[in-house]
Amino acid sequence: MRTGHRAGRWVPVALVAALALAGCSSTVDGEAFYAGLEVAKPTVPPAEGTLDPAEAPVVGTCSTIAEGQQSAPLDPPPPVECSGDHNAETAVVGDSGLADDAPHPAQADLDDPDSRISAALADLCDLDVVREYLGGDSLDDPYAWYAAYLPTAEQWAAGARWIRCDVFYGYLVPEPAPGILAGALAGSDPARHRTCFVGSPADYGVAPCSEPHEAEPVGTEVAALPEGAPYPDEPTRRSVVGSCTNVAQDYGGGEVPNGYVVDVWVDTAEEWPDYSYGRCVLVPAGGGRTTTTVRG
């Protein structure tokens, strides 16, 4: 069982405006190219020294991101064979918008949310990129996340001004991918790539839906609890379940899936001040655990 806490990534998602993906979009003074399922996957990474170091990455290129490296835009992982072990794939390649004579960005530039490079990276990567790359939709909460990268100092010196957004397998930190990530939510085993909840309505962690779990979140939808409300007692928690019914029906393809009921899961009382949301979920009507997803 994996117990990484969903609040670690979910709260920022709720606060950041999502990009509308329509095949391609734009970053600062540049274009961003989004992956489609028809994009061929590189089977072997280019041999060292055979490519122009300024060459932009290929969408679909695989890599292995080390723990912590997902938060290090100045430390891009090199390509690896997609047929072998990997945990990430390049989903979008964009333009940094920085001039040819601009110096290689430093950590101080990345730490400044108002800097040009911070804005470009924020525009390039978000939850919608992950959903689209995996073949999901706006109601999905993928068991995957994203990491943005710049060229290395050597590539920058050679003229590279691209930026890239990699999608990695794992909720908060990279984990070995079970296979190719592109289109995985529309493939034969979506449960491995969708997030589910493990635990109880007031104390839970996350795991892929292919592992035993008690609840499946309805995407990132939240129940209608008043903003700033105190920690909900059981009657209060139950009273807002109805606010999740319509979106649960949408999630289930038009109706609440057979054998499931709608519920609302919250955090522990200790966590509530930092994460005061109730998540709309579907749980087996008879209780217990499952290793499937209602959407696959």
Do residues 87 and 175 make contact, with C-beta atoms less than 8 angstroms apart? Answer: yes
The pair of structure tokens assigned to 251 is 């999630």
Do residues 120 and 96 make contact, with C-beta atoms less than 8 angstroms apart? Answer: yes
- Dist. CA 273–CA 269, nearest whole Å: 8
> What are 95-154's pLDDT values in tens digits?
999 999 999 999 999 999 999 999 999 999 999 999 999 999 999 999 999 999 999 999
The pair of structure tokens assigned to 49 is 């020294």
Report DSSP letters for 185-211, one per residue: GGSS-GGGGBEEEEEETTEEEEEETTS
Distance of CA 269 to the CA centre of its chain: 27
The pair of structure tokens assigned to 118 is 């911070």
- Dist. CA 123–CA 27, nearest whole Å: 6
Secondary structure (3-state) at 203: strand
> What are 57-108's pLDDT values in tens digits?
999 999 999 999 999 999 999 999 898 899 999 999 999 999 999 999 999 9
Per-residue model confidence (pLDDT) at position 52: 82
> What are 33-59's pLDDT values in tens digits?
544 434 445 555 555 555 688 899 999
Whether 16 has a pLDDT exceeding 60, the answer reads no
Do residues 115 and 38 make contact, with C-beta atoms less than 8 angstroms apart? Answer: no
Name residues whose C-beta falls within 8 Å of residue 206's C-beta, 6 or more positions apart in sequence. Answer: 2, 3, 4, 5, 6, 143, 171, 195, 196, 197, 198
> What are 190-247's pLDDT values in tens digits?
999 999 999 999 999 999 999 999 999 998 899 999 888 899 999 999 999 999 999 9
SS3 of 75-99: CCCCEECCCCCCCEEEEEEEECCCC
């943005």: which residue's tokens?
148
Predicted model pTM: 0.86
